[in-house]
Structure 1
């Protein structure tokens, strides 16, 4: 029988093995995957049938789906023609979620996020969208804009073209920091769009600031 320390060690080892964190670069076996077992270009029929829940249209979150195959119930994006399917990690399928709430929920790189697959008419995954969760706890929202640095680290610091926007009327720094950054990057087979922001409205409670990161990864030509 294993003692408490052994169980803790096994849990820690399992976490390291299971966590697909953007903060670390991909291993050779994972190089083609953007997140966990999701690879841009894979067929909808090959998407995992277990471990995920909460399927809904990204553009219409009130439209629940039975699974990946219901993507055509979601409206196509006017610009790309892709259909966005939002989903969550299923805590019931994650034994680590029962050990501590830090392992529970839908997280990437330790940050609570909203995840979507972008699916084309050919029933293939053409893109992935990750947005930090605006409903996360205060201390997690405070560091949400740092997730953008993890994205750049994961996909390479070079090649990003970034612009910084000035504050608009009524927008103020948070703790002396103001960020409204947009970045683009193109590689041989991917197009990346990254946004980071941190500011608050003048006169609002300090806890009601706006801060986060959103990244969209598209197959080039998709």
Structure 2
């Protein structure tokens, strides 16, 4: 186990093993114990179970969520979920981050191939993740939004997370709709994406909604009109995903 951990960490630091390649390595018990993958991720959150079932020793930064933004009120434990304000649905957003030891090892070694600052990723995409909890403290949904604070390359690729999620939820028979540009929206180069997908699990007990965007909003111009220099990062690339138990419905909070 120790040899495998050392080997993977060495490849990561050397740049032989990239972040996407690392994401394809199937986690096993030894890797989790070695800190190569988080012991608990958003996929381990069980809908219908108490939020206090989430192992607090395996996650960090438990807080009230802000609908994809940075965490707000810090919570000592998941049992303090009621301190978070309920959304219109009645659910409370409880943010937490992955405790990814490998990320800190890589950062300590000043590796440009670190997993991702903060360690919270899925399919190698930096994300903001949260559990959606009802008044009794039962998890009724999960919310995943690509992290706008990520480095430019990761942020540009954020829209592609939607493809991974379509594959993961293929059995839910997603129905997708392309949304035309709104006033002031423009392509990034020749690319424009605004897609909304919905689906229901085979048992009919859970629904998901996903919104993916890659576009320039009003004011996000490719060139600075005064200097004629390229405006790096002046675009929106984002994937927003939410799955909830019925009778709750996924929020329509826009990815725009």
The TM-score by the shorter chain falls in which range? 0.7 to 0.9
**Which residue is 1:28 aligned to?**
none
Give how far 1:158 is off: 5.8
User: Of Structure 1 and Structure 2, which has the larger fraction of its residues in strand?
Assistant: 1
Q: State how far apart, in whole Å, the 1-side matches of 2:26 and 2:60 are.
A: 23
Q: 2:200 matched to which residue of 1?
A: 186
Could you list the runs of 5+ residues in structure 1 that have no partner in the other structure?
20-32
RMSD over aligned Cα atoms: 2.9
Aligned-pair CA distance for 1:169: 2.2
1:22 corresponds in structure 2 to none
Instruction: Count the aligned residue pairs.
Output: 204
Deviation at 1:51, TM superposition (A): 2.0
For the residues of structure 2 that align with 1:36 and 1:11, how far apart are their CA atoms? 28
Cα–Cα, structure 1 residues 186 and 34, in superposed 2: closer, same or farther, change >3 Å?
Answer: farther
Which position in structure 2 is the counterpart of 1:89?
98
- Report deviation, 1:95: 4.4
Q: Could you say if the C-alpha distance between residues 11 and 120 of structure 1 is closer, same or farther in structure 2, counting changes exceeding 3 Å?
A: farther
| Unaligned ranges ≥5, structure 2 | 12-21, 30-39, 223-230, 249-256
Q: How far apart, CA to CA, are the structure 2 residues paired with 1:192 and 1:55?
A: 24
- The 8 Å contact of residues 117 and 127 in structure 1, kept in 2 or not, is answered as yes
Task: Note the C-alpha offset of 1:34.
Answer: 8.4
Check if 1:221 corresponds to 2:230.
no
Question: 1:166-181 to 2 correspondence within 5 Å?
Answer: 166-181=180-195
Offset, 1:45: 2.7
User: Could you say what secondary structure the match of 1:16 adopts?
Assistant: coil
Secondary structure at the counterpart of residue 102 of structure 1:
coil
Cα separation, partners in 2 of 1:69 and 1:169, compared to 1, 3 Å:
same
**Alpha carbons 1:11, 1:96 under 8 Å: kept:** no
Partners of 1:170 and 1:6 in 2: how far apart?
A: 49
Give the secondary-structure state (helix, strand or coil) at the position aligned to 1:146.
helix
Q: Mean Cα displacement is larger for which, 165-174 or 114-123?
A: 165-174
Selected match of 1:198 from 192, 208, 214: 214
**Alignment equivalent of 1:152, drawn from 166, 180, 183:** 166
- Tell me how far 1:18 sits from its aligned partner: 5.5
Q: Summarize deviations over 1:147-204 as a string: whole Å, max 9, x none.
A: 0110110111662222222112221111211111111111222100100001013525
Q: 1:48 to 1:81 in 2, by over 3 A?
A: same
